[in-house]
Amino acid sequence: MIPYLFLIAYLVVLYACLWKLLQKAGKPAWAGLVPVYNIILWLRISGKPWWWVFLFIVPGVNLLMFILMNVNISIVLGEREVK
């Protein structure tokens, strides 16, 4: 029962963050709730090719891609400066 509560809490936080991210980028916020489409939009916002979506499927690589995409999004949206 406890793992399911953690999963639900994780998903609520994830989708809330995607909602705000897409609003800030000028995309429809509801798209953050659609499983694969949200990753495709995430890639478009950061200027990466669409086929990177397949890298999110590979175990281990998906964690690296998640970190890389978060850094790229923060640079694109002006929250972080490139030195």
Assigned domain for 52 exists: yes
Q: How many domains does the chain have?
A: 1
Residue 82 lies in a domain: no
Q: Does some domain include residue 32?
A: yes
Q: What is the DSSP string of 57-80?
A: TSTTHHHHHHHHHHHHHHHHTTSS
Residue 79 pLDDT more than 90? no
pTM of the full structure: 0.75
- Please give the average per-residue pLDDT across 70-78, as a whole number: 87
Domain assignment present for 27:
yes
pLDDT tens-place string over residues 35-66: 889 889 989 998 899 899 999 899 999 999 98
- Domain membership of residue 26 (yes or no) is yes
What range does the domain containing 50 cover? 2-76
Let me know if residue 81 belongs to a domain.
no
Cα atoms found within 13 Å of the Cα of residue 69, Cβ hemisphere only: 23
